[in-house]
């Protein structure tokens, strides 16, 4: 049996669906019970700090896919966010050890690399996280790697690019869509600098397929760290022009300098507005483009959707959602 934590997230739902449809026996674990659960899937409600719940979730399990985390501190605070992302991951590994589970697949993030002028980024490249989430994920990697060696657990770490698609809750992407579709007062799409940066997206179903192929790779994936993301990543300007045409959107493009964006970030910070946050500044002003050749070579995985397809589907979903 496979235990999937964080099963309610956009990625979690896709991973559960992929594994269930592939004939795997799945148990889900999350803090909140979803409205619907796939047929034949067991669900246990709990957090990452109640060991009685963790051990119950681990009973009869041979592999853990740990997706449960917090990417933003709103509502829960920065201290609790960090605790969930780092101590929570360690607690899950301790529960795995006590339950004699030998395989653990950890969700990390592109955020561990931080700001960089070089790309595509390889797994061994320098890590200098820029966002709180990126810092937490790098710390979680380090904690879990050290514990896995002591506990003789086969650990695989996966660093996805930004996962986007219908039902997304990522505020940076949603607000960008909001402006692009002219739902504000001035019908303007704000573009970072000259729009020459690249930011790699990834469809949830492609990410789920990567998790499954990494799982099926068995010993070849043990101890490995994998980047996963879409192919053919355009510049942000190229992307906006294509999406504008494909989705028949009507908006003007207004260029924003890094200095002005940082001013807005400082201005909005006290009010907890989810725009021009550090994550969003990274998203719009720096290229983040992962080299995914390693996972392709070892597992044979290849993404099916590129940035344009992902954003087009998301725009159409968003139009229906707010319209």
Domains of the chain: 2-164+201-230+289-304 (3.40.50.720), 171-196+234-285 (3.90.25)
* Residues, the chain: 323
Of 64-73, 91-100, 164-173, which range is least confident? 164-173
Confidence grade of residue 322 (pLDDT, cut at 50, 70, 90): low
Tell me if residue 21 falls in helix, strand or coil: helix
Q: Which two tokens stand for residue 56?
A: 């119950």
Q: Cα–Cα distance between 43 and 29 in angstroms, integer?
A: 6
DSSP letters for 170-214: -HHHHHHHHHHTT-SSS-EEEEETTS--BB-EE-HHHHHHHHHHH
Residues 6+ apart with CB under 8 A from 104: 63, 64, 66, 92, 93, 96, 144, 148, 153, 154, 155, 156
pTM of the model: 0.90
What's the rounded Cα separation, in Å, for the pair 144 and 156?
10
pLDDT higher than 80, residue 245 = yes
Higher pLDDT, 321 or 1: 1
The DSSP 8-state label assigned to residue 255 in this structure reads: E
Task: Please state the rounded mean pLDDT for residues 209-226.
Answer: 97
């Amino acid at each position: 049996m496979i235990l999937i934590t964080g099963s309610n997230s956009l990625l979690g739902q896709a991973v559960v669906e992929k594994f269930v449809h592939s004939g795997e026996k799945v148990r889900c674990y999350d803090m909140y019970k979803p409205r619907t659960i796939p047929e034949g899937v067991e669900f246990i409600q709990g957090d990452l700090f109640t060991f009685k719940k963790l051990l119950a979730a681990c009973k009869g399990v041979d592999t853990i896919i740990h997706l449960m985390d917090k990417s933003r501190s709103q509502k829960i605070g920065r201290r609790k966010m960090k605790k969930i992302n780092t101590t929570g991951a360690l607690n899950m590994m301790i529960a795995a050890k006590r339950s004699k589970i030998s395989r653990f697949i950890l969700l990390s993030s592109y955020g561990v690399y931080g700001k960089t002028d070089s790309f595509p980024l390889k797994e061994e490249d320098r890590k200098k996280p820029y966002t709180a989430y990126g810092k937490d994920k790098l710390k979680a990697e380090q904690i879990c790697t050290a514990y896995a060696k002591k506990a003789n657990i086969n650990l695989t770490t996966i660093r996805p690019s930004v996962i986007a698609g219908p039902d997304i809750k990522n505020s940076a992407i949603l607000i960008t869509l909001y402006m692009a579709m002219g739902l504000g007062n001035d019908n303007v799409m704000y573009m970072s600098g000259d729009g020459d940066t690249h930011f790699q997206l990834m469809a949830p179903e492609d990410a789920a397929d990567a998790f499954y192929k990494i799982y099926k790779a068995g010993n070849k994936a043990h101890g490995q760290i994998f980047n996963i993301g879409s192919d053919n990543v355009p510049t942000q300007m190229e992307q906006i022009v294509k999406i504008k045409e494909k989705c028949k959107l009507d908006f003007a493009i207004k260029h924003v300098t890094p200095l002005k964006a940082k001013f807005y970030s400082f201005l909005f910070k006290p009010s907890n507005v989810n725009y021009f946050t550090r994550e969003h500044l990274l998203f719009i002003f720096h290229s983040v483009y992962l080299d995914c050749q390693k996972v392709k070579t070892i597992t044979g995985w290849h993404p099916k959707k590129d940035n344009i397809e992902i954003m087009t589907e998301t725009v159409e979903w968003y139009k229906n959602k707010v319209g």
